[in-house]
Amino acid sequence: MIIPCIDLMDGKVVQLVQGREKALEGGTPLEMLEKFAAFPEIQVIDLDAAMDRGSNDDLVELIAARAVARVGGGVRSPERARMLIQQGAHRVIIGTAAFQRELLQKIADAVGPERLIIALDSKGGKVVVKGWQQVTDFTAEEVIQQFEPYCSGFLCTYVDKEGLMQGTDLDWFRRLRAATDHELTAAGGITTMDEIRALRDLGIHAALGMAIYTGRLKLDEIARAGQ
């Protein structure tokens, strides 16, 4: 499955490079929903909530009411996860909070593991948390199985190439695929149809951002590839 991404900041649809520098703005959320209508699911990240500087709850609710959406950004409590589900999110994505085991259990209990996706993001070979600013001592491959009881899938971003359109690390995704039977979604630097096909052959979904916002990948072509 190919999953287009809608990242929200200051009430706008944006794309960032490696989670820091804003590279471009997209259309309005409704315009992007119209463009992505051919895809069965979309991914929505509230960057303001993730950075703890407010939220875009009204836009999240608007999008989630009109599309099957997996939603993340700033999910640090069971209440926040439950609220996103109530707003219409199909599934909830959590990142940093997953590394606090007691909190992770509470969030999983609140919405059910089947509604939870855990983000395992890698930079320089190690998992990064807190907006990709803090580097841990372990790799995603080492810890992924520990999280399986709490979720139904993993969103794995190759941060080193995020937003750079220089290709991704297919070897890393192969190692992740070998480490878990859970659903995997790849993100970060996916730029070509060949990469999308390689991920599909591995049984891994592809979350696409910069490559479609810049026109590097054509929506009609990737929509056909995702069918």
How many residues are given for the chain?
A: 227
Integer CA distances (angstroms), 102 to 37, 97, 108, 109, 115, in order: 38, 9, 10, 11, 18
CA atoms within 13 A on the CB side of 128: 16
DSSP 54-65: ---HHHHHHHHT
Residue 158 sits at φ, ψ, to 5 deg, of -90, 90
Residue positions annotated with a catalytic role:
7, 121
What confidence tens digit (pLDDT) does each residue in 82-118 have?
999 999 999 999 999 999 999 999 999 999 999 999 9
Tens of each residue's pLDDT in the chain, 227 residues:
999 999 999 999 998 876 666 778 888 999 999 999 999 999 999 999 988 889 999 999 999 999 999 999 989 999 999 999 999 999 999 999 999 999 999 999 999 999 999 999 998 888 888 777 778 889 999 999 999 999 999 999 998 877 666 789 999 999 999 999 999 999 998 999 999 999 999 999 999 998 999 889 988 888 777 65
Cα distance between the two ends of the chain: 8
Three-state DSSP at 71 gives strand
Q: What is the DSSP letter of 158?
A: B
| pTM of the full structure | 0.93
Could you tell me which residues are beta bridge partners of residue 186? Answer: 156, 206
Domain definitions of the chain by residue range: 2-225
Q: How far apart are CA 163 and CA 24, in angstroms?
A: 10
CATH of 2-225, one of 3.20.20.70, 3.90.76.10, 1.10.10.10, 3.30.70.20: 3.20.20.70
Q: How far apart are CA 49 and CA 72, in angstroms?
A: 9
Q: How far apart are CA 82 and CA 11, in angstroms?
A: 22
How is the chain split among helix, strand and coil, in percent rounded to 5? 40, 25, 35
